[in-house]
Chains A and B, each alone.
Chain A
Amino acid sequence: MRANSCLADLQQAAASREDLKIEPFALRGTPVWIAGLESLIQRAKTRYELLGSLPETSCSFEELAARLFGEFVPSSELLGKLLQGKLAVLSGDGTRAFVLESEPAELKRAVDLPKEETIVGAPSAAFVEDLNTNVGLLRHTFGSADLRVEYVSRGGPADKRIALVYLGSEASPQLVSEIRGRISAPYRYPVRSEQALISLLTGTRWQLISPLYNTELPEQVSDELLLGRVAILMDGQCTAAITPSSIRNFFAMFSDKHFPYPLMLAIRAVRIIGLLVALLLPGLYVALIAVNPETLKIELALSLAMSRLNVPYPAFIEIIIMLFIIEMVVEASLRLPKSIGPTITMVGGIILGQAVVQAQLVSNLVIIVLAATTIANFTLVGFNNALTIRFLKYFIVCLSAMYGAMGLFAGLIGFILYISSIRINGIPFMRLR
C-alpha cells in the first residue's frame, strides 16, 4: 500500500473538483486533515460542532474516530462517501481516514403543501425531493412497525437511490421480490426517471398505461399500501410511484373517504363520467356531424348544421385543429411563469372562444365540445392518467371520422379490451382493488 494514499488520492480527485476542500486541522492537539465538498456541507459550522463534541484532553486518531462515531473507510470508497455529503477526517500522515455525518448545506426544502394534487379537507403535507424526508413522512403518516423500507442500490454512477416501501402484512412477498428483482435488473440507461422505472417493471417502453400511479400525498400512499401495493420512492422525485396501479387510480383517491359514503360514490361517478366524456366527446362530435347526423332529432341536427354553416372544412379537420391548439395551450401554461400564465390563458381563451368563431373558422359547438373535453380530462386523478386519455382520444376521433358512431364505439371497445389485457407484475390492471 502506498504511504499517505488516502490524502494523495483525495488531492488528485480535488484537482478536477474544486469544491472538494482538504485542509489541515488540529483536533484537540492531534494533527489531522479534514476533507469535504463545500457544495454539500457547511464547513464552518461542521468544524465548530466537531470541536464542541470532543473533550478537552488530547486523544489518539482511533479515539477520535470512536468519540465522533466515525466509520473507517478504505481510500477507494472515500470519494463516494464525500459525494453523499459526509465529512472525512484523515490522519496526519494521510494513511487512514474515517467519515462522519456533517452539517449539510441547505439544499433541501422543507415539507410543503402539495403542488399538483390539491385536496379539500385532508392533511396537506406533500413529498419533497429528499428520499430520507419522504420515507420519514411515510413513517410519520403510518406510524406502524409493519411498514418495511428497502433501499435498492443499483450501483451505476448516475443511478438514483431507490427505496421500496410496503406493509409486511399486506404486500405479497412474491410481488415484493418480483419488483425488487426487476428494479435491480440491468438497464441500458441510468435509472434517473420514471420512464426507466416503467421500462424495468414492464419490460417495454411502449405501454400506453403506466404501471405506476404517482402521488405526492403521503396519506394517499398509506391507503395504497394497505391494499397490498408497493411504493417506489426515488431520490430527487417529489412523488411516490405506486405499483401495481389499477383502473381504480383513474377515479378514486383516499381523500374521497373524508366525505360520507354516498357523496364519495357520487364524486367517483363524476370522474368516471369525466373519463368517458374526455375520451368520447370529440369523436362523438365528428361522428354525429360528419357521418351520422340522421341519428339526431331533426331539430337538433338542423341547429348543429346551422352552427357550421360557413365553416369551410370538414368536422374532422375542424376538431383536430382546435384539439391541437388546446394541447398547446395546456402545454404552454404548464411551463409559463406564474406571473404571465393568466395573461396568456386569457388571450388564448379570447382568441379560441370568440375570435375564431366570429371569423367563422370553427363552429360554436366545437368550442363547447373542446371546453367540455378539456375540463372532463382534468377530473381524472393523476396527471399520468389524464395524459393517457388525452392521447387516446385522437384514435377515437380518427375512427369516428371514418366509421361514424360505429367507429366511435369500436374505438371504445378496443380501448376497454386493451386496458383489460394489461397485467402489471402478473396482476390485472382492470380491477377495483
Chain B
Amino acid sequence: MQRNASRLPTYLFIVGTHTGLIFFFYAHATLRTTAYAHWQPAVVYICIEALCLFLLLAGLARVPGKDFADLFIPLGKVVSLLLLAPLVAYFLLVSLMVMRSFAELVRIMFVANTPMWALLALLVLLFMFGAFMGGDSILRANVVFSALFLPVLLFALSSCFKNADFHYLYPSWNSSFDFLRKQEFYSSMFVVSPFLVIGMLPPLSPLRPRGVFLTMLPIWALCLIALHIPILVFGTPAARLLVFPFLATMDSVSLLWLVFDRVTLFYAVSIMAFVSVHASFLLWSIGRIVHKRFPKCPEKPVIAAAAVSLFVWGLMIPGWDWLQNMLFWETWLRILAVFAIPAAVLWRGLILSRRRAAS
C-alpha cells in the first residue's frame, strides 16, 4: 500500500499503545502478584511478551502484507471463526477495560460530579470517531500525539523521582517465585497484550522484526520504571494497597515553579491520547476482521455496534471491584489470545511460505 512509507509511525504506534497501558495498569497489575521483589514478575511478563512477539513476527514476516484475518480466513469457516472470534472478543474486552478504568481515573481526578454515562459517552464517541477515521489515520495521529504528549509524560514521570527513596527497592530477591502460583499473575497478563495489535499492522505499513524488537527495548525499560516508581515513593506495602498507584505517586509531587498544583493533569491528558489510540485501533481492528470474515457486514456499522456495546457494558459495570473480578473471569480468554494466536500465526506463516516455495 505504502511501499516507500517511513516505518517511524509504526514504531511510534507500538510505543503509543504500550504507553497507554504501562502508565495506567502496569504498576497495579504487577504489584498485586507478589509481596516483594516485583521486578521478577515484571521480567517474566517481559519474557512472555518477547516470546509471543517473536512467534507473531516470525509468522508475519513469512507472509508480508497479511493481517490476522487474511491469515485465518482461508482455513475454512469453522476454524477461522474459532480463531478470530476469541480475538475479536478479546479486543473488545481490552477496549472495555481501558475505557472503563480510564473513566474511573478521570472521575477521581477531574470531574467527580459528572455522571458516568456522560464520561463514557465522550470516550466512546472519541474512540468510535478514531476508528471511523481508519487504521492509517490513527497511525498518523499517533505521531502527533507522541510529539506532543510523550515529552509531557516523561516530564511527569521524571518529576516523581523527586520523592524517591531507593531503600524501598529491598528486599530485591524472592526465591519462592510465589507469583507463579497466584491467579493474579495470570489475570494481570493483559498488560503484555498490546503486542497483539501488531498483527493488524502489515496491510498498513511494512514491519521489520528487528526494528520492532528494538522499539520494544525502551518500552520494557519503561515497564520496569513505571512499576518501581510507586514502590520508590511509597514503599512496597503501601503501594500495593493503592488502586491507581501511579496516579497517587504523581499526586504526591509538588513543583513550586509550575502553574499547576499537581503534575497529574499532564499525566492524565497524555494517557488519554494513548488510550484513545489504543482503543480506536482495537475498534477499527474489530471492524476490519468482522468485515473480512463476513464481507456483507460493512466496517463502519460493525465499529458503531462495537462502540455501542462498549458503552452499554461500561455502564453495567458498577465499580472498580467489579472490574477486577472481570479480569479474573476472562483469564482463559486472555491466555488463549496471548499464546494461541501468535502460535497460529507462525503456523500459518510457515505453511504459506512453504506452499509458495513449492509452487
A interface vs B, CB < 8 Å? Answer: 291-292, 294-298, 300-301, 399, 402-407, 409-410, 413-414, 416-418, 420-421, 428, 430
Interface string of B261-278 (1 = CB under 8 A from A): 110110011001100100
Interface string of B113-136 (1 = CB under 8 A from A): 010001100110010011001101
The smallest C-beta distance from A277 to any residue of chain B, in angstroms, reads 14
Closest to A411 in B: B126
For B258, list chain A residues within 8 Å (CB).
Answer: 297
Verify if B110 is at the interface (C-beta below 8 Å from A).
Answer: yes
- Does the CB pair B273–A406 fall under 8 Å? no
Which residues of B from 85 to 134 have beta carbons under 8 Å from A?
106, 110-111, 114, 118-119, 122-123, 126, 129-130, 133-134
Kindly list 11 other residue pairs between chains A and B, CB separation below 8 angstroms, not including A421-B141, A428-B136. Answer: A291-B110, A292-B265, A297-B258, A406-B111, A413-B145, A414-B129, A417-B141, A417-B280, A420-B141, A421-B134, A430-B140
Interface string of B137-179 (1 = CB under 8 A from A): 1101101110000000000000000000000000000000000
For A403, list chain B residues within 8 Å (CB).
Answer: 110-111, 114, 118-119, 122
Which residues of B from 61 to 78 have beta carbons under 8 Å from A?
none
Q: A410-B126, A414-B129, A417-B138 are in contact. Are A297 and B144 (CB under 8 A)?
A: no
Q: How far is the CA of A166 from the CA of B195 in the complex (A)?
A: 44
The smallest C-beta distance from A406 to any residue of chain B, in angstroms, reads 5
- Does the CB pair A295–B106 fall under 8 Å? no
**Cβ-defined partner of A406 (8 Å) among B134, B264, B272:** B272
- Does the CB pair B137–A295 fall under 8 Å? no
**Cβ-defined partner of B144 (8 Å) among A298, A407, A430:** A430
Question: Contact residue range for chain B?
Answer: 20 to 34
For B143, list chain A residues within 8 Å (CB).
Answer: 430
**Cβ-defined partner of B273 (8 Å) among A291, A409, A428:** A409
B interface vs A, CB < 8 Å? Answer: 106, 110-111, 114, 118-119, 122-123, 126, 129-130, 133-134, 136-138, 140-141, 143-145, 258-262, 264-265, 268-269, 272-273, 276, 280
Closest to A422 in B: B137
Closest to B275 in A: A413
- Does the CB pair A295–B265 fall under 8 Å? yes
For A409, list chain B residues within 8 Å (CB).
Answer: 269, 272-273
For B141, list chain A residues within 8 Å (CB).
Answer: 413, 416-417, 420-421, 430
Q: How far is the CA of A262 from the CA of B117 in the complex (A)?
A: 49
- Does the CB pair B138–A294 fall under 8 Å? no
The smallest C-beta distance from B213 to any residue of chain A, in angstroms, reads 27
